[in-house]
Structure 1
Amino acid sequence: MLYNKIDVHAHYLSPGYKKFLKDQFNDMGDGVKTPEYSIDTTLGIMDQAKIDYSILSISSPHINTGEASSTFDLATEVNEYATTQHNKYPDKIGFFALIPLPYVDESLSTIKQIATDGQAAGVTLPTNSRGVYLGDPQLDPIMQALDDQHAIVALHPNAPGIIDSHVNQDVPQPILEFFFDTTRTVVNMLTHGIFTRYPNIKFIIPHAGAVLPLVANRIPFARGLNPKLTPEQLDIQSVMSSQYFDVAGMVLSQQLPALLELIDPDKLLYASDTPYTPTPAVIGLANKLETTDLLSPSLKTKMFRQNAQRLFKL
């Protein structure tokens, strides 16, 4: 490995979250086998990939149990686990706290607790929680609370709220549907004014923007088909240039160059997506990013470390 790195998209599995995945998904959340995990998993991958600091978060599926109280309790458990790891390895491990969406009172209570504790690097939000998507007006009080905190918010795709079981039933959800759900969610947030009404939130959009780099030029044309939409509701270019993007997954050779045509290169962040991405793949993908001629050495230095240092004040 040639570059020291800060990883903004790596995952952990707390004991409570493991139990949730086993009880509700038979260890196949979103069609993906639950990986073996302890904090040593993260530390071992960090050593191999030359990652100096990892900001951990809970992956999909979101912790919504279908009931407010137990979802709140699970959010508390996963956040306490992450806090423990951060305190044990303060120079290596940070974390994004989790909020019990879509339950407003419980989420506001959790945000208040996160702010009081002052340990989390930010929060992570799923694209949807049992079909309630970011941008839904019922979540506005939560967005306002995050805006008041000037929060850094890492988005993470979830399986869509509605899935047709007869289409692509053998293709795991992360391969296609995660990209579509991220794209769907960001556009929903845009049309509902999330980025303009809550300007103090810094969003990190995962997987090199998913499909957004390919459809960004189409979005403004929606007004021709629906004149009720305002130009501001379709100003995806402003979102692309102002928000942050991570490079989790296979972003070369097509996706990342398309993204870089639209974004501020000072807002590009390294991401491993461990442990759901197996360690050999993490090493291989990092090596491609390190050695590609499509990125300049100065951009690589920014992406791998400097941009995250500035964003998180590390």
Structure 2
Amino acid sequence: MYRKIDFHAHYLSPGYKKFLKEKFNDHADDCPTPAYSIDTTLSTMERQRIDYTIISASAPHFSVAYDANQTAEMTAEVNDYGAEQQEHYPDKIGFAASLPLPYVEESLSEIDRALSKNTVAFTLPTNANGTYLGNPDLDPIMSKLNEHHALVLLHPNEPHPATKNMSSKINIAVMGFFFDTTRAVVNMTVNDIFTKYPNIKFIIPHAGALLPVISDRVALSKKMNSELTDSQVDVPGVMANQYFDVAGKVLPYQLPTLLQMVNPNHLLYGTDSPYTPAPLVDHLAKTLADTDVVSEPMKQMIFYDNGKQLLDSLKR
């Protein structure tokens, strides 16, 4: 079994569990809230030979139900729990701090607080109650993350506004999340986030969602809107420089398509545990380990080497 580093794993703090129960009856985004303690993460790590895991909060983002003060309080509770796990298991677990988006001043304060707790990374929702990444109102937050050369994990949320009759049969996390990741990254591209803030290392989840198949189509927008610059529609250029986790079902089609467009040194492993149940985590890892779509050296890169190189670069 390959050694691994996990860049897409989740945790549920006591406050976040309460939030999910009170606001969503434990079925947020059509997903039942999984049972969780830090032992859940450690068990996955032991079973899958994962040396190091970055844990982060999942969807839905707190702002969907709370005002600025409540969102900031919820974010602090979630981050404090993650920081405690990192402190208890410093060689095994790092935490990615959440931010109380879309609230700018509260987010700037939380960045400072999270850095004081030695956060390894930050995690940003694709949209926070309808405010999408790329929105110029969030530029002060991006500027501060850029100043600190931050590693930023993107995570999808339910598209906003939601069209419930389109998701009544197909789980939001299965389809809607892919649309929202794609929408957010395109919006970030159009608003020059990746060029204005080059020191941020972004990890785009789920093998880039729909970006590999829509990137060329976005470029056509320039023919319809002459005010757009080349950089604002250059999704392939953005993808060539970002990182991607391969959490979820990326074979047999998605990963080979992604590999045509991205730096293979920027592919990272992810379990999406505990929202992906343990048997499916094991199955997906085995599928990637056994595939003949990618070479053995590339599998070693995806499972471990690329992640080790990225983490080492953050220490410099």
TM-score by length of 1: 0.98
1:27, CA displacement in angstroms?
0.8
The CA distance in 2 between the partners of 1:70 and 1:58, in whole Å, is: 16
The CA distance in 1 between the partners of 2:251 and 2:292, in whole Å, is: 11
CA contact (8 A) 1:150 1:201 kept: yes
Q: Where does residue 102 of structure 1 map in the other structure? A: 102
1:251-275 per-residue CA deviation (whole Å, 9 max, x = no partner) reads 0000000000000000000000000
The CA distance in 2 between the partners of 1:268 and 1:44, in whole Å, is: 24
The CA distance in 1 between the partners of 2:309 and 2:163, in whole Å, is: 42
Q: Where does residue 57 of structure 1 map in the other structure? A: 56
Q: Where does residue 85 of structure 1 map in the other structure? A: 85
Aligned to 1:123, the other structure's residue is in SS state strand
1:150, CA displacement in angstroms?
0.6
The CA distance in 1 between the partners of 2:165 and 2:259, in whole Å, is: 36
Q: Where does residue 307 of structure 2 map in the other structure? A: 308
Q: Where does residue 237 of structure 1 map in the other structure? A: 236
Aligned to 2:78, the other structure's residue is in SS state helix
**Counterpart code for 1:4:** R
TM-score by length of 2: 0.97
The CA distance in 1 between the partners of 2:87 and 2:164, in whole Å, is: 43
The CA distance in 1 between the partners of 2:53 and 2:165, in whole Å, is: 38
Structure 1 residue 150 and structure 2 residue 152: aligned?
no
The CA distance in 2 between the partners of 1:21 and 1:285, in whole Å, is: 27
Q: Where does residue 220 of structure 1 map in the other structure? A: 219
Q: What is the aligned length?
A: 312
Structure 1 residue 159 and structure 2 residue 180: aligned?
no
Q: Where does residue 140 of structure 1 map in the other structure? A: 139
The CA distance in 1 between the partners of 2:162 and 2:99, in whole Å, is: 24
Structure 1 residue 73 and structure 2 residue 73: aligned?
yes
**Counterpart code for 1:204:** I
1:66, CA displacement in angstroms?
2.6
1:23, CA displacement in angstroms?
1.1
The CA distance in 1 between the partners of 2:180 and 2:224, in whole Å, is: 22
1:22-61 equivalences in 2 (<5 Å): 22-61=21-60
The CA distance in 2 between the partners of 1:121 and 1:144, in whole Å, is: 18
Q: Where does residue 191 of structure 1 map in the other structure? A: 190
1:115, CA displacement in angstroms?
2.2
1:230-286 per-residue CA deviation (whole Å, 9 max, x = no partner) reads 111011121111000000000000000000000000000000000000000000000
The CA distance in 2 between the partners of 1:145 and 1:290, in whole Å, is: 38
Which of structure 1's runs of 4+ aligned residues deviate more than 6 A? none
Aligned to 2:62, the other structure's residue is in SS state coil
The CA distance in 1 between the partners of 2:224 and 2:168, in whole Å, is: 32
Aligned to 2:95, the other structure's residue is in SS state strand
Structure 1 residue 271 and structure 2 residue 264: aligned?
no
The CA distance in 2 between the partners of 1:311 and 1:66, in whole Å, is: 35
Identical-pair percentage? 52
Runs of at least 5 residues in structure 2 that lack an aligned partner in the other structure: none
1:156, CA displacement in angstroms?
0.2
Aligned to 1:56, the other structure's residue is in SS state strand
Q: Where does residue 182 of structure 1 map in the other structure? A: 181
1:123, CA displacement in angstroms?
0.1
The CA distance in 1 between the partners of 2:277 and 2:114, in whole Å, is: 31
The CA distance in 2 between the partners of 1:18 and 1:164, in whole Å, is: 25
Aligned to 1:272, the other structure's residue is in SS state coil
1:102-156 per-residue CA deviation (whole Å, 9 max, x = no partner) reads 0111000001112233x21110000001101000111111111111111000000
Q: Where does residue 254 of structure 2 map in the other structure? A: 255
1:3-42 per-residue CA deviation (whole Å, 9 max, x = no partner) reads 0100000000000000111111111111110000000111
1:50, CA displacement in angstroms?
1.4
**Counterpart code for 2:274:** P
CA contact (8 A) 1:128 1:160 kept: yes
**Counterpart code for 1:265:** P
1:216, CA displacement in angstroms?
1.3
CA contact (8 A) 1:115 1:149 kept: no
The CA distance in 2 between the partners of 1:116 and 1:10, in whole Å, is: 22
Deviates more, 1:216-225 or 1:179-188: 216-225
1:308, CA displacement in angstroms?
0.9
